[in-house]
């Protein structure tokens, strides 16, 4: 079975500070991992994904995530937060199924 | 521009009524999905379809129905049997249905029961 846990339903950071959104997964087979962003009343947009190969994945808008098998983690980071980063972020896992299993989301607030 | 179009953006339904949410894609994707989003619960899969004229129940299919008569279209009907239909509904598609294929999402339909 696959599942995703996002630690922290709300995260606040100051503009220019490091963004760290945590995601831990559970999978009985090698996982494929995704981060999506959702702006209010909109659909989800893919930020980045890990399939195989390099464990540090770079995405759009300056975000990146590192796949750590030993820690079953796929945390999302950005060195310097911008006001436009305020949104809800979802981690998802896919492994041997026709489905993406989503976490419950983390709402990021950026303080000016 | 290729993409997924959901309509309407906002929908109001009286109790006991069926309503149909539209989802159209011009990405030539084989697979399509319907998710329901509630605050603090993430996204939950209602139905998915891998190919025309075939679809499968997801985790919360009760009270919903779908059809896939055309590759481009995957409408969702919320029936009167759905006890708590007020939610944000998201349609998605992917080029295939393998593990690493990413899903592309529409802008969503917010359904409110009045």
> Is A94 in contact with A31 (CB distance < 8 Å)?
yes
Provide CB contacts within 8 A for A75, sequence distance 6+.
Answer: A20, A21, A22, A23, A65, A66
Burial A95-105, CB ≥16 within 10 A → b, else e? beebbbbbbbb
Chain B hits for A105, CB-CB cut-off 8 Å, are: 40, 42
Q: Do B4 and A43 touch (CB under 8 A)?
A: yes
pLDDT tens track for B14-26: 988 999 999 999 9
Q: Do B42 and A94 touch (CB under 8 A)?
A: no
Q: Pick from B66, B23, B77, B8: which is nearest to A41 by CA?
A: B8
* Residue-by-residue pLDDT tens, chain A, 112 positions: 778 999 999 999 999 999 999 999 998 777 889 999 999 888 999 999 998 888 899 999 999 999 999 999 999 999 999 999 999 999 998 865 557 788 999 999 999 9
Q: Pick from A91, A101, A70, A93: which is nearest to A20 by CA?
A: A91
pLDDT tens track for B1-45: 679 999 999 999 998 899 999 999 999 999 999 999 998 888 999
Q: Do B103 and A100 touch (CB under 8 A)?
A: yes
Chain A's closest residue to B87, CA to CA, is: A41
Minimal CA separation from B69 to chain A, in Å: 20
- Does residue A84 come out as left (phi exceeding 0), alpha (psi in the -120 to 50 range) or beta? alpha
Minimal CA separation from A44 to chain B, in Å: 6
Please classify residue A91 by burial: count the beta carbons closer than 10 Å to its beta carbon, then call 0-12 exposed, 13-18 middle and 19+ buried: buried
Chain A's closest residue to B96, CA to CA, is: A98
Please classify residue A26 by burial: count the beta carbons closer than 10 Å to its beta carbon, then call 0-12 exposed, 13-18 middle and 19+ buried: middle
Tell me the mean pLDDT in the region B74-102: 88
Minimal CA separation from B40 to chain A, in Å: 6
- Cα separation, B81 vs A41, whole angstroms: 26
What pLDDT is attached to residue B97?
67
Provide CB contacts within 8 A for A54, sequence distance 6+.
Answer: none
């Amino acid at each position: 079975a696959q599942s995703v846990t996002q630690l922290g339903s709300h995260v606040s950071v100051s503009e220019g500070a490091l963004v760290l959104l945590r995601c831990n997964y559970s999978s009985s087979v090698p996982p494929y991992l995704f981060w999506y962003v959702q702006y209010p009343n909109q659909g989800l947009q893919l930020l980045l994904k890990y399939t195989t190969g390099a464990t540090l994945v770079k995405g759009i808008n300056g975000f990146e995530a590192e796949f750590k098998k030993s820690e079953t983690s796929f945390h999302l980071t950005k060195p310097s937060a911008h006001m436009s980063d305020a949104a809800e972020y979802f981690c998802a896992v896919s492994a041997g199924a026709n489905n993406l299993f989503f976490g419950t989301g983390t709402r990021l607030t950026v303080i000016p | 521009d290729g993409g997924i179009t959901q309509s309407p953006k906002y929908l109001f339904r009286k109790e006991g009524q069926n309503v149909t949410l539209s989802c159209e894609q011009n990405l030539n994707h084989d697979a399509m999905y319907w998710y329901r989003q509630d605050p603090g619960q993430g996204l939950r899969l209602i139905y998915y379809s891998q190919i025309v004229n075939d679809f499968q129940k997801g985790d919360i299919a009760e009270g919903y129905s779908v059809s896939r008569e055309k590759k481009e279209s995957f409408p969702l009907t919320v029936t009167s049997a759905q006890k708590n239909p007020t939610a944000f509904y998201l349609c998605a598609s992917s080029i295939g249905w393998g593990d690493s294929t990413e899903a592309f999402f529409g802008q969503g339909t917010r359904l409110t029961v009045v």
